[in-house]
């Protein structure tokens, strides 16, 4: 440590008139102090200064790039309400004294290398705003934050993957939660059951691929939801389950190629952002369930060419729309009819069509009219403000947003899009079997997603009737399949006929089988445990069923119905015969016609019954052998011991009998070891006559 720094500190503490000056490295503004790039001695000097008047009455303290920041070093500050620390690592434990900051309402500790939530947060009973952004926090669990007064939490750019159960139980007043830039992969609405006051939820720039809603009522009070910059390819949000009072929704920068019919059912939604979503199609009925929609942005979607004239339905509240940098050749008539304010800069409009449509612009205010341009027939760019009305006809065009070669996967719901570009021509579809069908206006079916599959429905209601609705739907916008079959592959012709001419687009649809493999993970004598790598992606779950069939040569066949929501992708097939070969198949099929969608089969033979000897393995056999050897050795040893004891006893009895008869038997070479009955009696008698000591 530099001796000059210590001398400076000593001088400061000893000079009574120096304390009125702002601390070194800091700037003061009334009761606010801001300090930047403090060394250890300078930080010590600051903490010493804050102990005395007038700095002990500081209400706002801002610290940035402090060399070694420690909370215990900061004195008790009874009037401090705002405390912000940035890029000042060094204190990961946060040892706070009980009444160190009794009035603190805003605490920011950013870029400080925190890995866990400090337990000392519980002592900040007056805190309303907490910012722990740019740290290394991984878990947001039930024991993370226990502050009943907290209203706003900011946790940007951490490493949080999931939200634990009952996280918000101890935060009943929380209104804003910002989790921007973390590693979350899904949004589960039931995680927010305890967040009874949450108004704004920001999940921008995560890795969310799925939104899971359930039958509970969390997030009913939520007003703003930001899901921009995630990996969502499809969104289904319903007010019947959650988001009843959602006012603003941001889905920008997600791969939402198609805005499907009824993709949102939010009666209170007024602001919707769909910027930079690589969008190509907006279907009929896309915004029918948004009756109060007021403002929408779909800018920066250069591939967006088709916007259905039936997208809004009967909605009349629509006011503002931004279609800048989209692929529209002409402004859809439905937009001209519904919108009051329009932004169209950098949209690739066709001048001939725009010139004819200018008469419809009277009800629309184009905010960026002076900057808007269009392209002429020769490819020249011209400003709309300089465009004159022309009698040149608008060129008819058939829009095929996804090209003339398309690919679908067996089982999925798929639509081949082809539509007129705002003309009144009739549209016909020619299927691969040469059947010609005149297309009709899209039928806006009830868009409520059925979440119960056929198996569960029939289990709960055996009287449920099978779905006989057509699998194929033909409209002026698409040729659609509820469930794609391999037989649907081929060439489809989209034909537009008018009095002037006929336009045709031939679209090739290739149907690929899914890569689903069935295998036997365990085989026994009377059972086979089956598993498969993934399920078919089925949307029409009410008309598709899943089963496992097992058959053998002797006309044996068994069928087992499974749920489409078999998340473990496994099943244990039991009650089979031993030592018999079975053909086992995993099958998806249409319930109304028993038409096979896809199946994966294997041939598997069950194991035969084993004898006792066959059941013995090497280790067990060795163990039994060792036990037998031990038993034999024990028995032999016992037998030998008994025989030896018997012969010894007989021998001794023989000696005794000989002694009684007055004979002496010498058992060894020396006569000193000889024993007679008389000598034995004399020794016993002499021993008994000895006096007791």
549 pairs with which residues across the strands? 559, 585
d(CA 688, CA 693): 13
Q: Look at residue 613 in the predicted model and tell me its pLDDT.
A: 59
Q: Look at residue 356 in the predicted model and tell me its pLDDT.
A: 61
How many domains are there within the chain?
2
What CATH number corresponds to the domain at position 502? 2.60.40.10
Query: Residue 118 pLDDT more than 60?
Result: yes
> 495: which residues sit within 8 A by CB, 6+ positions away?
427, 428, 429, 430, 502, 503, 504
Q: Look at residue 332 in the predicted model and tell me its pLDDT.
A: 76
Q: Look at residue 95 in the predicted model and tell me its pLDDT.
A: 80
Query: Residue 593 pLDDT more than 50?
Result: yes
Do residue 529 and residue 486 come from a single domain?
Answer: no
Task: Give domain status of residue 567, yes or no.
Answer: yes
Do residue 548 and residue 581 come from a single domain?
Answer: yes
d(CA 121, CA 149): 12
Q: Which of 465, 494, 512 is the last residue of a domain?
A: 512
Query: Residue 449 pLDDT more than 60?
Result: no
Segment 270-284 mean pLDDT: 94
CA atoms in the 13 A half-sphere facing the CB of 329: 19
d(CA 534, CA 247): 37
Q: Look at residue 452 in the predicted model and tell me its pLDDT.
A: 75
The more confident residue out of 356 and 679 is 356
Count CB neighbours of 318 within 10 A. 22
Q: Sorting pLDDT into bands at 50, 70 and 90, what band is 1?
A: very low
Q: Sorting pLDDT into bands at 50, 70 and 90, what band is 240?
A: low
Task: Give domain status of residue 529, yes or no.
Answer: yes
Q: Look at residue 681 in the predicted model and tell me its pLDDT.
A: 52
Q: Look at residue 468 in the predicted model and tell me its pLDDT.
A: 66
d(CA 498, CA 356): 18
| 429-to-305, 413, 435, 499 alpha-carbon distances in Å | 20, 19, 8, 18
Q: Which of 587, 612, 637 is the last residue of a domain?
A: 612
Q: N- to C-terminal Cα distance for the chain?
A: 90
Pairing of strands 32-36, 60-64: parallel
Task: Give domain status of residue 144, yes or no.
Answer: no
Segment 261-282 mean pLDDT: 92
Q: Sorting pLDDT into bands at 50, 70 and 90, what band is 662?
A: low
Token reading at 381: 């760019």
d(CA 285, CA 412): 21
Q: Sorting pLDDT into bands at 50, 70 and 90, what band is 19?
A: very low
Q: 511: closest CA among 481, 535, 484? A: 484
Measured in degrees and rounded to the nearest 5, phi and psi for residue 162 equal -140, 160
Q: Sorting pLDDT into bands at 50, 70 and 90, what band is 688?
A: very low
d(CA 232, CA 207): 8
Do residue 545 and residue 590 come from a single domain?
Answer: yes
| 251-to-212, 273, 302, 311, 515 alpha-carbon distances in Å | 16, 6, 17, 18, 31
Q: Which of 574, 592, 612 is the last residue of a domain?
A: 612
Do residue 419 and residue 503 come from a single domain?
Answer: yes
Tokens 């058939």 belong to residue: 398
Do residue 500 and residue 403 come from a single domain?
Answer: yes
Query: Residue 363 pLDDT more than 90?
Result: no
Q: Sorting pLDDT into bands at 50, 70 and 90, what band is 665?
A: very low
Task: Give domain status of residue 534, yes or no.
Answer: yes
> 660: which residues sit within 8 A by CB, 6+ positions away?
677
Do residue 417 and residue 506 come from a single domain?
Answer: yes
Residue 331 and residue 310 in contact, taking contact as beta carbons nearer than 8 Å: no
Token reading at 497: 């006929």
Of 18-22, 125-129, 396-400, 642-646, the range with the lowest mean pLDDT is: 18-22
Query: Residue 360 pLDDT more than 60?
Result: no
Count CB neighbours of 146 within 10 A. 14
Report pTM: 0.80
- Give the mean pLDDT of the chain: 84
Task: Give domain status of residue 426, yes or no.
Answer: yes
pLDDT tens-digit profile of 30-83? 899 999 999 999 999 999 999 988 898 999 999 999 988 888 889 999 999 999
Question: What single DSSP character describes residue 579?
Answer: T
Do residue 494 and residue 563 come from a single domain?
Answer: no
Task: Give domain status of residue 558, yes or no.
Answer: yes
Q: Look at residue 382 in the predicted model and tell me its pLDDT.
A: 84
Cα 467 to its chain centre, rounded Å, is: 32
d(CA 163, CA 195): 12
pLDDT tens-digit profile of 467-493? 667 899 999 999 999 999 999 999 999
Segment 320-341 mean pLDDT: 84
Percentage of the residues of the chain whose pLDDT score is greater than 70: 84
Q: Sorting pLDDT into bands at 50, 70 and 90, what band is 16?
A: very low
Q: State which residues form the domain around 505.
A: 398-440+475-512
d(CA 174, CA 149): 8
Task: Give domain status of residue 587, yes or no.
Answer: yes
Do residue 553 and residue 585 come from a single domain?
Answer: yes
Query: Residue 193 pLDDT more than 50?
Result: yes
The more confident residue out of 450 and 458 is 458
Segment 460-471 mean pLDDT: 74
Segment 572-591 mean pLDDT: 92
The more confident residue out of 98 and 116 is 116
Do residue 405 and residue 506 come from a single domain?
Answer: yes
The more confident residue out of 445 and 114 is 114
pLDDT tens-digit profile of 369-401? 888 888 887 878 888 877 776 666 676 788 899
Task: Give domain status of residue 489, yes or no.
Answer: yes
Query: Residue 17 pLDDT more than 50?
Result: no
Query: Residue 464 pLDDT more than 80?
Result: no
Q: Look at residue 567 in the predicted model and tell me its pLDDT.
A: 81
pLDDT tens-digit profile of 128-162? 999 999 999 998 988 889 999 999 999 999 999 98
Percentage of the residues of the chain whose pLDDT score is greater than 90: 44
Do residue 544 and residue 592 come from a single domain?
Answer: yes
Token reading at 290: 């948004």
Segment 486-505 mean pLDDT: 90
Q: Which residues of 516-525 are buried (b: 16+ CB within 10 A; e: fewer)?
A: bebebeeeee
Q: 161: closest CA among 184, 136, 140, 192? A: 184
Q: Look at residue 23 in the predicted model and tell me its pLDDT.
A: 87
Do residue 594 and residue 552 come from a single domain?
Answer: yes
Do residue 485 and residue 559 come from a single domain?
Answer: no
């Amino acid at each position: 440590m530099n001796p000059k720094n210590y001398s400076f500190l000593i001088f400061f503490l000893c000079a009574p008139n120096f304390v009125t000056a702002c601390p070194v490295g800091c700037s003061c503004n009334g009761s606010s102090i801001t300090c930047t790039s403090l060394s250890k001695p300078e930080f010590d000097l600051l903490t010493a200064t804050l102990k005395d008047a007038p700095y002990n009455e500081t209400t706002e303290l801002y610290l940035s790039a402090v060399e070694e920041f420690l909370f215990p070093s900061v004195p008790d500050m009874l009037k401090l309400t705002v405390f912000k620390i940035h890029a000042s690592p060094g204190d990961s434990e946060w040892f706070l004294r009980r009444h160190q900051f009794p009035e603190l309402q805003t605490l920011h500790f950013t870029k400080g290398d925190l890995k866990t939530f400090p337990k000392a947060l519980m002592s900040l009973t007056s805190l309303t705003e907490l910012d722990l952004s740019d740290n290394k926090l991984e878990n947001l669990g039930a024991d993370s934050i226990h502050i009943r007064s907290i209203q706003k939490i900011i946790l940007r750019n951490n490493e949080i993957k999931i939200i634990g159960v009952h996280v918000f139980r101890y935060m009943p007043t929380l209104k804003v939660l910002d989790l921007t830039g973390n590693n979350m992969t899904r949004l589960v609405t039931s995680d927010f059951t305890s967040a009874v006051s949450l108004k704004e939820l920001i999940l921008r720039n995560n890795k969310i691929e799925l939104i899971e809603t359930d039958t509970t009522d969390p997030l009913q009070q939520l007003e703003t939801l930001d899901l921009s910059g995630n990996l969502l390819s499809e969104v289904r949000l319903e007010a019947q389950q959650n988001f009843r009072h959602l006012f603003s929704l941001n889905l920008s920068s997600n791969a939402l190629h198609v805005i499907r019919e009824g993709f949102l059912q939010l009666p209170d939604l007024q602001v919707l952002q769909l910027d930079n979503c690589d969008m190509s199609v907006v279907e009929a009925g896309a915004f029918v369930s948004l009756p109060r929609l007021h403002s929408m942005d779909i800018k920066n979607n250069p591939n967006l060419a088709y916007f259905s004239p039936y997208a809004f339905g009967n909605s009349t509240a629509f006011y503002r729309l931004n279609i800048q940098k989209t692929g529209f050749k002409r402004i859809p008539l439905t937009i001209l009819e519904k919108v009051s304010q329009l932004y169209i800069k950098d949209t690739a409009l066709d001048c001939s069509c725009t010139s004819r449509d200018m008469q419809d612009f009277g009800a629309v205010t184009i905010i960026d009219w002076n900057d808007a341009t269009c392209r002429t027939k020769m490819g020249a760019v011209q400003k709309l403000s300089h465009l004159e009305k022309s009698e040149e006809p608008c060129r008819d065009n058939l829009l095929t947003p996804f090209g003339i070669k398309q690919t679908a996967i067996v089982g999925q719901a798929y639509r081949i899009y082809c539509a007129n570009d705002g003309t009144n021509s009739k549209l016909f579809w020619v299927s691969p079997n040469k059947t010609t069908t005149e297309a009709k206006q899209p039928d806006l079916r009830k868009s409520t997603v059925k979440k119960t599959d056929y198996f569960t429905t029939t289990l709960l209601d055996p009287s449920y009737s099978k779905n006989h609705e057509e699998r194929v739907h033909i409209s002026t916008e698409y040729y659609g399949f509820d469930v794609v079959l391999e037989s649907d592959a081929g060439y489809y012709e989209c034909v537009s006929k008018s009095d002037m001419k006929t336009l045709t687009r031939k679209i090739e649809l290739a149907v690929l089988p899914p890569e689903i493999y069935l295998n036997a993970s365990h085989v026994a004598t009377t059972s086979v445990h089956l598993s498969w790598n993934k399920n078919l992606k089925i949307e029409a779950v009410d008309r598709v069923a899943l089963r496992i069939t097992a058959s053998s040569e002797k006309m044996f066949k068994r069928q087992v119905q499974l749920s489409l929501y078999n998340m473990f992708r496994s099943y244990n097939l039991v009650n089979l015969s031993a030592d018999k070969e079975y053909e086992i198949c995993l099958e998806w099929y249409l319930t109304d016609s028993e038409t096979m969608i896809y199946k994966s089969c294997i041939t598997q033979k069950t194991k035969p019954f084993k004898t006792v000897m066959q059941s013995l393995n090497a280790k067990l056999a060795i163990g039994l052998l060792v036990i037998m050897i031990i038993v034999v050795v024990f028995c032999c040893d016992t037998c030998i011991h008994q025989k030896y004891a018997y012969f010894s006893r007989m021998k001794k009895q023989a000696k005794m009998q000989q002694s009684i008869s007055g004979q002496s038997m010498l058992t060894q070479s020396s006569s000193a070891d000889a024993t007679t009955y008389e000598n034995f009696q004399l020794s016993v008698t002499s021993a008994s006559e000895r006096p007791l000591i």
